Amino acid sequence: MIELIGIIACLIVCIVTPIQTARIRSGQVPAKFKGTAAEYRAAYLKQLNLLTWVGLGFGCLMLVLAVIPNDTPYEWVVKLISAGLWFALAGICFFSKRSLATAAPVPTAP
């Protein structure tokens, strides 16, 4: 059950991250954020960096757990799928960081 929660959470983040990255590249800032667009971009880059390392960490952890034998048959398949999704999240966050770093500077409000 815990793998299912992790898989669903990872899928949601894999879908939302490119959408949010595109919004930030265009200069949008959420209304609740108290700061400039450049500050929001910097905060989001930190979040992407954290998610990259979390994805790599959980991906490696799931690979290790997949090779440990247990009583449930074919549980290793679910763990391998989960590891692949976590590695995909790390890749998506890595490329999102690169696209934000090469994006045009955020326009400042007059």
Cα distance between residue 17 and residue 92, in whole Å: 8
Domain-wise residue ranges, the chain:
2-18+35-101
pTM assigned to the model: 0.86
pLDDT in tens, 38-75: 888 989 999 999 999 999 999 999 999 999 988 888 88
Residue where the block lists tokens 């995909």: 88
- pLDDT of res. 109: 55
Confidence of residue 16 (pLDDT cuts 50, 70, 90): very high
Please report, as a single letter, which amino acid is at residue 95.
F
- pLDDT of res. 10: 94
How far are the Cα atoms of 2, 92, 109 from residue 19, in angstroms, in the given order? Answer: 27, 11, 23
- pLDDT of res. 110: 53
| Mean pLDDT score, 91-98 | 95
How far are the Cα atoms of 91, 103, 105 from residue 74, in angstroms, in the given order? Answer: 26, 44, 49
Please give the share of the chain, as a percent, with pLDDT higher than 90: 60
Helix (H, G, I), strand (E, B) or coil at 59: helix
